[in-house]
Amino acid sequence: MAACAGLAGCLAVTRDPGARRARALFTREGDELPGFAAVWGVILAFFDRRREWLCAPVAVLLAVLGESVLPLLAGAVAVPLVGRWMRRRALRREYERAADAVAALCGAVVGELRAGREPGQALLVAGLNSGALGTAESAVLAAARFGGDVPGALQQASAGSGLQGLAGVAACWRVAVDGGAGLAVGLARLESALRAERRRREELRAQLAGAWSTVVVLALLPAVGLGLGAALGADPLRVLLHTPGGLVCLVTGGLLEAAGLFWASRIVRAGEEA
């Protein structure tokens, strides 16, 4: 635990822009870091990019304390599982950022339209480097600039993750062009709907925060029990890793822990999806 805390502190220091600025100010140009510092910087940079590999030092520490290879095997299993969980979180954050960018794009286009710009010019000004058009930004802006099929380009762009709101923009654009309806009014209503959806998502997340806290506490209880046993001098690692009864308890407890976490997280995720 002390090693992990120290590693986390070093990661926080290296990511601090103030520390980097101070290092740049007080280090002369041409100076090189010592070999140990350079290697340590490479290690910290690796763990900063691949945070799931932080399970490896914990597994090594437990293997040394328990004098067994079982923690190493558990760490080897935990690394891909934690990596998958972190990638899912990153995809979710990207999805939400893209959805917020689409809502902001609608508001910006409405502002440009009310300022007197033509729809194509308004989309060009608002959509340039907005991040709301994804990989199809060049195609959409080219269609808006040269009078192409803007609704079709927006419909294709809506296939990206978090960009489903662009399908509504395409529908508003098509209705405004074919039926003569006001584009600004439709986009304003679409923006309100997207922001209302974001508020509902945030409210649901706030309501489920207590459930997720319960899941985390239940997941940490076995580790707390091991720590209390070690503090009382019971040596739980030796019992669990070097005795037949302890191995049975370890396997059974691990399976029950995994089943409980899966069940609890599935209940919470069902509430999020609903």
Please give the average per-residue pLDDT across 33-38, as a whole number: 54
* Res 31: pLDDT: 47
Please give the average per-residue pLDDT across 154-175, as a whole number: 87
Q: Is residue 234 part of a domain?
A: no
pLDDT band at 35 (very low <50, low <70, confident <90, very high): low
Judge whether 48 and 15 are in contact, CB under 8 Å.
yes
Q: Is residue 103 part of a domain?
A: yes
pLDDT at 30 over 70: no
Q: Is residue 115 part of a domain?
A: yes
**pLDDT tens per residue, range 38-47:** 555 665 565 5
The domain of 119 spans: 95-194
**pLDDT tens per residue, range 88-121:** 888 888 888 888 888 898 888 888 888 888 888 8
Q: Is residue 5 part of a domain?
A: no
Query: Residues with Cβ < 8 Å from 63, sequence gap 6 or more?
Result: 69, 70, 71, 72
Q: Is residue 202 part of a domain?
A: no
pTM over 0.75: no
What is the crossing angle of helices 150-157 and 137-146, to 10°? 170
188 vs 129 pLDDT, higher one: 188
Please give the average per-residue pLDDT across 6-34, as a whole number: 50
Q: Is residue 175 part of a domain?
A: yes
Give the amino acid at 202.
E
131: closest CA among 113, 110, 152, 105? Answer: 105
pLDDT at 237 over 80: yes
Q: Is residue 158 part of a domain?
A: yes
pLDDT band at 248 (very low <50, low <70, confident <90, very high): very high
Rounded to whole angstroms, the Cα distance separating 170 from 186 reads 11
Domain count of the fold of the chain: 1
pLDDT at 180 over 60: no
pLDDT at 19 over 60: no
**pLDDT tens per residue, range 190-226:** 999 999 988 988 888 888 888 888 888 888 888 888 8
For the CA atoms of 214, 218, 223, 225, the dihedral, rounded to the nearest 10 degrees, stands at: 110
Q: Is residue 112 part of a domain?
A: yes
Q: First and final CA of the chain: distance in angstroms?
A: 38
